[in-house]
Amino acid sequence: MNLTTPRLRRSFFARDPVILARDLLGRILFYRTTDGLLAGRIVETEAYTGAADPASHAFRGRTARNTVMFGPAGYAYVYFSYGMHYCLNVTAERRGTAGAVLLRALEPLAGIDLMRAQGDHGPEPKLLSGPGKIGRAFGLGLRDNGRDFTRGPLGISAGTAIPDGQVAVSRRVGISRAVDFPYRFAVVGSRSVSGSVPSAR
């Protein structure tokens, strides 16, 4: 497993969320908990911008919930979804400009038994195939909102970038506005993505 690759720095995250979402594929999300190490390879992401994106939580400006989306890049934006799921985003852009990338699916790399202990008993490749499943397997909650990915127990390491030929771009999942924005990115051929993915670009 590629946990030995360098941790990504602030400058990596401080870009347009659409560019960042594409470049986060192949990177490694890790979380050093008191029970052990959890890690997964990022295989599916979605970009959410600000005032130009009606599907974004930041579309109508800053609120108590979305404040970290307006802060500096490289922080965790965790939101509570449908009364039962916690979904994890990585903030983008710089302070004052809203933007984030939703982590939609990972390939399990480490701590698989700990992930299963959180309640999912499906096949291993699908343990982290959805934003709510990542939140559950990693034990995330609102207390994790605002964590710094560049420092501390929750982080992202470089892993291995994915070449353009293996990246599929498509419409975002589960939204009711701006449904045509091509802001979803996935690694072609991964068995851990959520739903279906079109062929490469």
By CB under 7 A, name the binding residues for DNA.
Answer: 46, 48, 55-58, 60, 63-66, 69, 77, 79-85, 87, 89, 100, 102, 120, 122, 130-134, 142, 172-177, 194
- Least Å distance between CB 158 and DNA? 23
Nearer Cβ to DNA, position 27 or 133? 133
Beta strand pairing status for 76-81 and 85-91? Answer: antiparallel
Nearer Cβ to DNA, position 82 or 165? 82
- Least Å distance between CB 188 and DNA? 20
Rounded Cα–Cα distance for residues 96 and 130 (Å):
29
Q: Are the CB atoms for 112 and 38 separated by under 8 Å?
A: no
Nearer Cβ to DNA, position 5 or 81? 81
Q: CA dihedral in degrees (105, 100, 166, 44; nearest 10)?
A: 10
Nearer Cβ to DNA, position 2 or 116? 116
- Least Å distance between CB 58 and DNA? 6
Q: Which two tokens stand for residue 142?
A: 């609102």
- 173 burial class (0-12, 13-18, 19+ CB within 10 angstroms)? middle
